[in-house]
Amino acid sequence: MSRTIVVTGGGTGIGKAVAERFRADGDQVVITGRRAEVLEKTAAELGGKAVVCDGTDPEQVRRLLDELPGEVHVLVNNAGGNTDFGAADGHDDLAVVKNNWLANFDTNVLTAVLATTALMPRLVDGGAVVHVGSIAGARGAGSYGAAKAALATWNQDVATELGPRGITSNVVAPGYTAETEFFQDRMTPDRRNQLLEATMLRREGEVADIAAAIHFLASPAARHITAQVLHVNGGALTTR
């Protein structure tokens, strides 16, 4: 049976790979994001639907509902990123520090909160919510790491609320993953080598690795897995 999948931040990188993975099943996929041209190009490639939506804006998220069907089977909260890249240096200005921290919170937590809250009434019983976290949420990385840690903690509340309806809620936390815009052309060869050496598999993650984990958590095989954080990082961070 074809399902309806909503992927926020679905125009590039991990979000696009997730959309491709579900489309391969014949599912109907709706991708959202802020860049109309990027979204429309990806939607045309995949045969999905694109809806321009800034996930930090409550009004735009509300309008998103007008573009969605009455039932949604899977919500993937992928929108996010480290807004510290390119942000003003605020070490000596507390107002700048505040703005920088709020920017990462809005981008990585509030987007998921608004989308999940808005779509809760439309999620079918037995559906799934998957949030994209980060290794930084466990390892630390300033305001970005703190935001991803908050996302993982809030996920427990989502799982508790949706559990009686048979809806699971989990976090997939990638490590260093190539083929994304995350580092905004700031990755140096030395830094890349450090990240590869930190893994047990001695390779960078691929967007397909993350998409496969998300696809599994939204599958019938994962119906008794909820309120968890699944790390996909090649052994760069272990759970023990």
Q: ∠ CA(155), CA(158), CA(161), 5° rounding?
A: 150
Which of the four CATH numbers 3.90.45.10, 2.40.320.10, 3.40.50.720, 3.30.70.260 does domain 4-232 have?
A: 3.40.50.720
pLDDT tens digits, one per residue of 21-46: 999 999 999 999 999 999 999 999 99
pLDDT tens digits, one per residue of 102-112: 999 999 999 99
Nearest one of 2, 26, 15, 83 to 50, comparing CA atoms: 15
Give, for 118, the enclosing helix (H) or strand (E).
helix 111-119
pLDDT of residue 185: 67
Give a three-class secondary structure readout of 160-219: HHHHHHCCEEEEEEECCECCCCCCCCCCCHHHHHHHHHCCCCCCCECHHHHHHHHHHHCC
pLDDT tens digits, one per residue of 195-211: 888 999 999 889 999 99
pLDDT of residue 87: 73
Catalytic residues: 144
Q: Give the CA distances from residue 167 to residues 7, 64, 128, 225, in Å, rounded to whole numbers and listed in that order.
A: 17, 21, 5, 10
Identity (one letter) of the amino acid at 59?
E
Enumerate the domain spans of the chain: 4-232
pLDDT of residue 193: 86
- 180 Cβ contact partners less than 8 Å away, ≥ 6 residues apart: 12, 13, 14, 207
pLDDT of residue 187: 64
User: What does the DSSP 8-state code read for residue 60?
Assistant: H
Strand order in the sheet with 72-77: 49-52, 28-33, 4-8, 72-77, 123-132, 168-174, 229-232
pLDDT of residue 137: 95
pLDDT of residue 1: 79
pLDDT tens digits, one per residue of 217-239: 999 999 999 999 999 999 999 98
Identity (one letter) of the amino acid at 2?
S
pLDDT tens digits, one per residue of 44-92: 999 999 999 999 999 999 999 999 999 999 999 999 999 888 776 767 7
Is residue 125 very low, low, confident or very high in pLDDT (cuts 50, 70, 90)?
Answer: very high
Is the per-residue pLDDT at 186 higher than 80?
Answer: no
pTM as predicted: 0.94
